[in-house]
Structure 1
Amino acid sequence: MHAIMEKEKSILKMPLKSKHLLYPLLFLSLFLLLSRLLFLSHSSHILLSPSSSSFSLPPVHADPSDPCSGRYVYVYDLPDKFNSDILRDCHTILPWIDMCPFVSNMGLGPQLTETGSVLTETGWHVTNQWVLEVIFHNRMRQYECLTTNSSQADALFVPFYVGLDTGRHLWVKNVSVRDSLLVQLIQLLKSRPEWSVIGGRDHFILSGRATWDLRREADDNSQWGGKLLTLPEVKNMTVLLIESCPWESENEFAIPYPTNFHPSNESQVVEWQEKVRSTNRPWLFSFAGARRPGQTGSIRDQVSDQCLKSTRCNLLDCALPGNDCDLPMSTMSLFQSSNFCLQPPGDTPTRRSAFDSMLAGCIPVFFNPNSAYTQYKWYLPANYTEYSVYIPEDDVRDGSVSIEEVLFKYSAEQIGKMREKVISLIPAFIYKDPSHKLESVRDAFDLAIDAVLERVKSI
């Protein structure tokens, strides 16, 4: 092949009047070169491993008669230690809370049987914000275009519960312990013929934690988090998280935090939308959260103070005894009674509360673009003024802006239009009950799969 290429170079350097005599030779050389490349490409897949004899490249032409054409997903059948064993050891997932109730019911958590007048009668659970990996995996099991033939797949899903595993070891000083399962996973993937086709670029993985817990730069025991997102192999994959780092990485994509609402049929979605559309909202704005007195740069204190001073604001201080902000009844009652819901950054820019408030038909007020606008591009309108209000956090921090005055300027007509937009978005950021199929409702899972398949196709 090298000789052929050198011969082509010499031909191209000849005087123009001499070249016409050698055109047939040039075409023959090009034909031999292409034939050799095709042979080497085919051979590289045959020689991957002894187990790859039945493995072939995906079909080039889509079948228009196949409704799943272009949408097939292969799910790796990983050893139990990467997922189900983590659930069996659920007492160890977080050091300060027993996560066993929350990983039950396919990750939805305990079902709410007493919903009162705040919630509708069905579809509600006490769902923990860190369990998205379990919910997503169970939704994937019901995906209509699964394939057991990896060579047919348009994308390949790796169901490693990396967020739950990382949560078990975040406070362990030994990074080798923190990364043990992750290192084993990468070794396993690289040994598989599916990985070798395009170096994992058609693979995707999901974490129920924020990017900041998974991007440790060095194997230093004093540094925070795991190193999933800094591994070269993972940088080839598509990574879904509840909060991404869009300015650091092109392969991270944020998908919604899980809320407490997991409908099992279309009528439950419509019923809930009608309820929040017609509810009475006596408060102009509200805030559910705790102060951050020791956190440099946080505006939580200023937001809480402004809410306390206003007769138009309702505050639910999550740090006070008796105010259990993890219970859907508490927060949803607050959000349903308010036109605007304040969403200042907490430990990280995003908050689950943003989705809880929108679920209640409350217009979110953001103070940092990274709380939503740079994050959930698959789910929220690019024109953020359609569904939210933005107040720069620097203006709140230095006291140059009154949140009440900003919000009071919105007319009833404007508020109604924005609320209707929020309500129309509800199906896009809920996660349906994995044990049922909702044909006419496309939820956060459906939109994520569509976007992943489109991204892999572009690669």
Structure 2
Amino acid sequence: MDNNNNKYPSSSIEDPPTGKKKPTTILLIPCLLLTTSMLLIYLSQNKIILISTTTSSGSDHTSGLRDDSCLGRYIYIHNLPSRFNKDILQDCESISRPKDKTSMCKYIENYGLGPQIGDGVSTDSRYSPSWYATNQFMLEVIFHEKMKRYECLTRNSSLASGIYVPYYAGLDLRRNMQWSYNISERDASGKEMFKWLKKQPQWKGMSGKDHFLVTGRISRDFRRYSKNNSRWGTNLMLLPESQNLTFLTIERSPISHNEFAIPYPTYFHPTSAVEIHQWQEKIKFTNRTVLFSFIGAQRPSRNYKGLVRTQVIQQCKNSSNTCRFLDCDVKANTCDDPITLMKLLESSVFCLQPPGDSLTRRSVFDSILAGCIPVFFSQGSAYKQYIWHIPNNSSEYSVYIPFKELKNEGKNKIEEILLGIPNEKVVGMRENVIRLVPKIVYTKPNRYKPVGETLEDAFEIAVKGVVKRIEDIRREIQD
């Protein structure tokens, strides 16, 4: 039943489907002896089960007992030297910026999810164990921790559909930028990492075209063309070897052929499909008293992104009491509080998502998590980025307002457009936003996934996407 106290209409959403597995009778047939591994093959109704006795270094798990759901999904993890990942976390103070109010060390806790929030975000205690103060740059750690527990790991790289390189490139960049403006020193880690990779037998088969790497920063941070020491970033993605890898990053370069954007981490890391459904039910009936809101800070108005921000902030302030602006200026501290942020997003019908330092924002995914309809001012903020996680029917879950309409058509254009959307359209858009929640959250790395659960989180969708890409590359090579 809907909440009649809502100022703006709430939504309805269907229960997610559940899958059931049929019992099967297994028949043992002779095993096949391979040169590097021994596989026992079982046949049953439309099913093949493999037991790999391979043992080799380079992964955290053995292949173990596998059913056909793992065929074509096996992942091999490179056992990189610790200086490329573990040592960076142990030296966590080096990745904390001088202007940061708190040390980055606390965000490494709980598999990279950060400190547990507790009872804060929701008044219902059922949700509190899965809420964390997650830093937006911790994706590399979260992804690695989830990959260690991936259901289709193998120590036999010849079985692998993809090979994961757990290099924390974004955290390494932050560490090196702290102490060195010498670009040769900044770029050294990436070159050393590839030097190590090229010595491994797994690299030689496809020259790295079956390898993938995850970065927790935007692509631009790894595309420094200049040899000027004062310029930001490294040249990791410009190295010759990088052209063969698949990069998963929070924001891709529009000119890159081998980068794919995946969601920023949010504050919610559930343990089950049931818990996600409970959250969807909660935000469906949330009392939304604010028509639109913006959480962010001003940017210099010398470029397109800064001009958009200026217009958005001014129009929010000029609205007829329908917009709330949460100022995230460096002097403010409210934007560091997940509870404050989520409460505003949950109380808003629309959430404004103008570009900032780059085209994308973590706030896009926080707003989806809150059931708040995102409003974009650039096609590059989401539509051309997250092709695996967000559908291409953009008008069904978001609003797009070209910047030229803000600039040329009145000081309250945003309010006018949003007020003009019929209530039934708003309800439908919110339903579609709520349906996106499972696809944009990273479930807790150590969660147990029940047999038959069909839920795919942001991690699993990303892995499926990269495996398909590598499969397509293999097919092209063979043809």
The reply to whether TM is greater than 0.5 is yes
Aligned residue number for residue 113 of structure 2 = 108
For the residues of structure 2 that align with 1:339 and 1:369, how far apart are their CA atoms? 21
2:130 match: secondary structure: coil
Q: In the TM superposition, what whole-angstrom CA distance separates every residue of 1:232-275 from its partner, at most 9, and x where no partner exists? A: 111101000000013x1110000000000001222221111111
Alignment map for 1:29-428 (pairs within 5 Å): 64-65=48-49, 66-96=68-98, 97=100, 98-115=103-120, 117=122, 120-170=127-177, 172-246=180-254, 248-293=255-300, 295-297=302-304, 298=306, 299-310=308-319, 311-319=321-329, 323-400=333-410, 402-428=413-439
**Residue type at the aligned position of 1:355:** F
For the residues of structure 1 that align with 2:402 and 2:192, how far apart are their CA atoms? 44
Question: CA, structure 1 residues 55+393, in 2 after alignment: closer, same or farther (shift >3 Å)?
Answer: farther
Q: In the TM superposition, what whole-angstrom CA distance separates every residue of 1:180-216 from its partner, at most 9, and x where no partner exists? A: 2111101011111111111100000010000110111
Aligned residue number for residue 433 of structure 1 = 444
Report deviation, 1:393: 1.7
Report deviation, 1:118: 5.7
**Residue type at the aligned position of 1:67:** S
**Residue type at the aligned position of 2:152:** C
Report deviation, 1:434: 0.4
Aligned residue number for residue 43 of structure 2 = none
Aligned residue number for residue 449 of structure 1 = 463
Report deviation, 1:117: 4.1
TM-score (norm. length: structure 1): 0.84
**Structure 1: gaps spanning 5 or more residues:** 1-52, 57-61
CA contact (8 A) 1:245 1:252 kept: yes
**Structure 2: gaps spanning 5 or more residues:** 1-34, 39-45, 50-67, 474-479
- Bigger-Rg structure (1/2): 1
Q: In the TM superposition, what whole-angstrom CA distance separates every residue of 1:404-429 from its partner, at most 9, and x where no partner exists? A: 00111111110000000000000001
CA contact (8 A) 2:121 2:338 kept: no
Q: Does 1:458 align with 2:472?
A: yes
| Root mean square deviation, CA, Å | 2.0
For the residues of structure 2 that align with 1:267 and 1:75, how far apart are their CA atoms? 30
Q: In the TM superposition, what whole-angstrom CA distance separates every residue of 1:290-344 from its partner, at most 9, and x where no partner exists? A: 1114553212121111111111111111127555212211111111111100000
For the residues of structure 2 that align with 1:358 and 1:116, how far apart are their CA atoms? 15
Question: CA, structure 1 residues 292+438, in 2 after alignment: closer, same or farther (shift >3 Å)?
Answer: same
Q: Identify the structure with bigger relative contact order (alpha carbons < 8 Å, sequence gap 6+).
A: 2
For the residues of structure 1 that align with 2:145 and 2:171, how far apart are their CA atoms? 15
For the residues of structure 2 that align with 1:240 and 1:144, how far apart are their CA atoms? 20
For the residues of structure 2 that align with 1:267 and 1:174, how far apart are their CA atoms? 50
**Residue type at the aligned position of 1:340:** F
TM-score (norm. length: structure 2): 0.80
